Structure 1
Amino acid sequence: MWALIKHPVFGRLFSAQVMALLSTGLLTVALGLLAFDLAGASAGAVLGTAYAIKMLAYVGLSPIAGALVAHLPRRPVLIGADLVRAAVALSLPFITEIWQIYLAIFLLQTASATFTPTFQATIPDVLPDEDDYSRALSLSRLAYDLENLISPALAGVLLLVMSYHWLFGGTVIGFLISALLIFGTTLPTRRPTKDRPFRNRLTRGIRIYLATPRLRGLLALTLTGAAASAFVIVNTVVVVRSGFDGTDGDVAIALACFGGGSMIAALALPGLLKRLSDRPVMLSGACLLTLLMLSQAVVAPGWPMFLILWALTGVGYATTLTPQGRLLRRSAHAEDRPAVFTAQFALSHACWLITYPLAGQAMTAWGMGPTLGILGVLGAMGVALALKLWPEGDPVVIPHTHDDLPADHPHLQKDGHAHAHAFIIDDEHHAWPTHG
């Protein structure tokens, strides 16, 4: 897996991702402490609202941004988004009002709504081999976990010698280094696509996504992952500072436990996915998350057990969501891949749009136990929907017929009216076969 870092293109993209996420991790810790300073015990509600605004930007703007940049070169799009994020982060140390937090989050995540799907859709073109891509997904998961492990640890050290306001400077530096790394990288050109109307480009990814059973199941599992992670992200600072009377450093330790568990799972997944298919692996992770939430709703843990449970939550979270790129790649042609990745980005963040404010407001109103009970029930609903929507077995090659195409259509010239091949929703295949 680590040999991929030597890849001339992926290695630089991975380094850019690491730098951007290190800075995002510092931003997460600093925003939590800023919210606690401005709102006290109501910081959970403030952060829940802030992250809901973030999700609104992701859900509402990512399909529009994806359609607008669909024909633009990838490198300028990625660099431009990084520079915008750096410029917004530069203003964060000067925030003195809660509404300013909301505005900064919206502007920052508007740029991220352009950057992230474009970045994710580039990796399959850089690494066409499926095993290499699976390993790249695990490395990418590790990079995301730096936000929950190395960044909080680094923040904890920095907080010993400086105010948390200076952590925002690290965010700016990370985005600038990310932009420089991408600037020095030659990315694959976008594959030629049909000239489609803007409205078609805007909705194509979501139409393909929702017409594919395995992706509908992925969306349900994302709801479970969002329920668990929303509580961790929104309420860790409140639980540690108010519930355990902890310090800023204890907040960093708790977040590091969550990230450490996620990293352990990410390291194990490439080997595990060679022996098992994606569905049972992802379902097992979602079941673990649900059990962890419901158990803590009944029994409040002490500090050592709390850290263990946070680490196990990280394991379940990574197991549930790390393989998602494999499903997206399998479910779209190369020309439609950016649109499908954008659809996953928007629809998955719609799940967090539900769970972030729910986690924050419920914690403020009722406390830790009832909040985890509500989120645990939501997680169980996600597992039940995935079992129903994502058929067991999930064959790639599916026999089907084409009653909707004329006999002389080029797609039918080779194999005839009834045939079997790897089934993907596209211009010739509008609906998933249900009867073979």
Structure 2
Amino acid sequence: MRLFAVRDYRHLFGAQVIALFGTGLTTVALGLLAYDLAGPRAGMVLGTALTIKMVMYVVIAPLAAAYIDRLPRRALLVLLDVIRGAVVLALPLVTEVWHIYILIGLLQAASAAFTPTFQAVIPDIVTDESAYTRALSASQVASTMESLLSPVLAAVALTSMTFDRLFLGTSAGFIISALLVLSTRIPDARPSTHTKAWDKAAGGIRTFLTTPRLRGIMALNLVVASAGSIVVVNTVNYVRDELGGTQQDVAWMLAASGTGTLLAALALPRVIDRITARTIMMTGAGVLAGGTIAAVTLIAVGLTTWTGTAIIWAVIGIGMALIITPTGKVLRASVARNAIPEAFAAQFSLSHLAWLITYPVAGVLGTNAGLTLTWSALAILAAAGAIAALLLWPRHDGGGTVGEFATTAWHMSSKDRTTLTKAA
């Protein structure tokens, strides 16, 4: 089955790509807006705004997953895109820091509801096993390309316009995304295995807590968030204040991390069917722990060079891709098919719970105690997460190759899968 021959998936994928790039431009512009309003305290402002984002994701995503099968999903996705477009359009008009916090809360509440809904739609549209696997990969590639190209596009755009114009492009992207979703035919949701909303919201999280390999993924989420917070929160102040760079330089440095992610994403398909998911993801954890230690060393000894920073940022991007890319297939192989939306929503919330821990560290501690101490704390968290993942995810449960893992799970009954999960 040709994946992009499925018209509805093609339109939904286009909507996802456009919305992703809009979100990427918003991230770059938000950092520059924070610097414009708060100067040296931009890290704290950005960290607080992103913490609000994480709170919304942690709280709202499971509830959204719980009610997905009760709502008209196409109308909900369109409405959420329209809300995001309107909020982003208002961001360049803010004059006070607290305005940012309110608008980011609204924006991320909509995004937190959008993502699990979108993820739950895909298996209902792409019913062929191999095509669905490719759909998961295509979604990851789209996210990878966004992390690389959004900062590059922002850097190019900033050569001829001010950063507030980036918000206009983002708003237009969300509206186009809404139109593409509106053009699709999204079927009604399958009934969940749980009848009560709270059971559905908590079902995926219970699965994570009782499945060894998924407990390992929870620890790996902390590794990703610890290293990623250095890049997302501290790049603006680091480039502007430590390196003396411009707005464009901030975007290019973020693009360095995206380049690392892209390189890993291009390399993984060559090995992903021959190496176990556990091996790939633990390698990513080691890379990220090493990247954070390198960042600490860089700033602690005063070697704040453009080349050194770009290399470390790229290494962090590589490590994040090694962990994030196989996660969706591991999740899909660990639960019954009608519980996939709940599992994805749980991972969405739990991964952002990790960011909820690390964003305030990067923002508040970075502003008040300096980047050396802040990055040291984040490096310790990354190392702790990597060690915990090794202990929580049994070595004998490599999961086979990622390809084998996904194929086996697709044909397993719910009862058989439960037996395998308990054995793991």
In structure 2, C-alpha distance between the alignment counterparts of 1:99 and 1:185, rounded to whole Å: 38
Shift of the 260–195 alpha-carbon distance from structure 1 to 2, 3 Å rule, reads closer
1:345 equivalent to 2:342? Answer no
Q: What residue is the counterpart of 2:118 in the other structure?
A: 119
In structure 2, give the amino acid aligned to 1:362. Answer: L
Q: Which residue of 1 aligns with 2:329?
A: 326
How big is the shift at 1:103?
0.6
After TM superposition, list the pairs within 5 Å mapping 1:310-321 onto structure 2: 310-321=313-324
Which runs of 5 or more residues in structure 1 are unaligned? 398-420
The equivalent of 1:433 in structure 2 is 422
CA distance in 1, matches of 2:137, 2:255: 18
| Residue 226 of structure 1: aligned partner | 225
Residue 417 of structure 1 corresponds to which residue in structure 2?
Answer: none
How much does 1:148 deviate? 2.8
Deviations 1:298-343 (A, max 9, x none): 2334111211111111111111111111011111112211111111
Displacement of 1:121 = 2.8
What's 2:205 paired with? 206
Partner of 1:304: 307
Question: Is 1:79 the counterpart of 2:78 in the alignment?
Answer: yes
Query: In the alignment, residue 191 of structure 1 is paired with which amino acid?
Result: R
Q: Where does residue 295 of structure 1 map in the other structure?
A: 294
State the secondary structure of the residue aligned to 2:311: helix
Write the mapping of 1:249-260 to structure 2, written as runs, cut at 5 A: 249-260=248-259
**For the residues of structure 2 that align with 1:430 and 1:48, how far apart are their CA atoms?**
42
Q: Give the share of equivalent positions with the same residue, in percent.
A: 47
Give 1:193 deviation, angstroms.
3.4
Alignment CA distance shift 1:287-1:127 (3 Å): farther
1:102 is displaced (CA, Å) by 0.5
Instruction: Name the structure 2 match of 1:29.
Output: 28
CA distance in 2, matches of 1:346, 1:227: 16
**What is the distance in 1 between the residues matched to 2:386 and 2:267?**
22
- Alignment partner, residue 45 of structure 1: 44
Is 1:383 matched with 2:382? no
Q: Distance in 2 between matches of 1:425 and 1:382?
A: 32
Change (3 A) 1:125 1:68: closer
2:339 maps to 1:336: yes
The more displaced of 133-142 and 55-64 is 133-142
AA at the equivalent of 1:250: D
Deviations 1:51-72 (A, max 9, x none): 0010011111211222233332
- Counterpart check, 1:152 vs 2:151: yes
* Contact 1:331/1:425 (<8 A) preserved: no
The 3-state SS of whatever aligns with 1:161 is: coil
1:248-287 maps to which residues of 2 (within 5 A)? Answer: 248-287=247-286
Q: Deviations over 1:328-377 (max 9, x none)?
A: 11111122111111111111100000001101122212323222221111
Q: Deviations over 1:4-58 (max 9, x none)?
A: 4454333222211110011111111111111001110110011011100100111
CA distance in 1, matches of 2:166, 2:123: 33
Helix, strand or coil at the partner of 1:69 = helix
| Structure 1 residue 245, shift from structure 2 partner | 0.1
Matches within 5 A, 1:162-241: 162-194=161-193, 196-241=195-240
Which of these residues, 349, 353, 363, is aligned with residue 360 of structure 1?
363
CA distance in 2, matches of 1:335, 1:158: 44
Q: Secondary structure of the residue that 2:44 maps to in structure 1?
A: helix
Verify the 8 A CA contact 2:41 2:367 in the aligned structure 1. Answer: yes
Whether the aligned pair in 1 keeps the contact of 2:276 and 2:399 (CA below 8 Å) is no
Q: Which moved more, 1:116-125 or 1:321-330?
A: 116-125
Q: Is the 8 A contact 1:53 1:105 kept in 2?
A: yes
Q: Structure 1: how far apart are the matches of 2:333 and 2:63? A: 24
Distance 1:6 1:228, change over 3 A: farther
Task: Write the distance in 2 (CA, Å) between the matches of 1:307 and 1:113.
Answer: 31
* Contact 1:153–1:253 (8 Å) recurs in 2: yes
Deviation for aligned residue 1:261: 1.1
1:60-139 → structure 2 map (5 Å cutoff): 60-128=59-127, 131-139=130-138
**Which of structures 1 and 2 has the bigger CA Rg?**
1
Give the TM-score taking structure 1 as reference length: 0.88
Question: Contact between 1:62 and 1:346, CA under 8 Å: does it hold in 2?
Answer: yes
State the one-letter code of the partner of 1:354. I
Given that 1:18 and 1:146 are in contact with CA atoms closer than 8 Å, whether structure 2 keeps it comes out as: no
1:112 shift after superposition: 0.7
Instruction: After superposition, give the CA deviation of every residue in 1:154-206 in whole Å (9 maximum; x if it has no partner).
Output: 22222222221111111111111111111112234422335612222221221
Q: CA deviation at 1:262?
A: 0.5
Would you say the 8 A contact 1:65–1:114 is kept in 2? yes
Give the drift of 1:132.
4.0
How many residue pairs get aligned? The number is 410
Judge conservation of contact 2:336–2:413 (CA < 8 Å) in 1: no
Structure 1 residue matching 2:7: 3-state secondary structure:
coil
Give the partner amino acid of 2:389.
A
Query: Corresponding residue for 1:54?
Result: 53
Measure the CA separation in 1 of the matches of 2:285 and 2:131: 25
User: Secondary structure of 1:91's partner?
Assistant: helix
Q: Which moved more, 1:153-162 or 1:142-151?
A: 142-151
| 8 Å contact kept, 1:138–1:267 | no
Match of residue 412 from structure 1? none
Q: Is the 8 A contact 1:138 1:266 kept in 2?
A: no
The structural deviation recorded for 1:223 is 0.6
Could you give the per-residue CA deviations for residues 267-319 of structure 1, whole angstroms, max 9, x where no partner exists? 22223211111110011011101011112212334111211111111111111
Rounded to whole Å, the distance in 2 between the matches of 1:295 and 1:395 is 29
Contact 1:58–1:109 under 8 Å retained in 2: yes
Root-mean-square deviation over aligned CA pairs: 2.4
Letter aligned with residue 217 of structure 1: G
Q: How far is the alpha carbon of 1:99 from its aligned partner?
A: 0.5
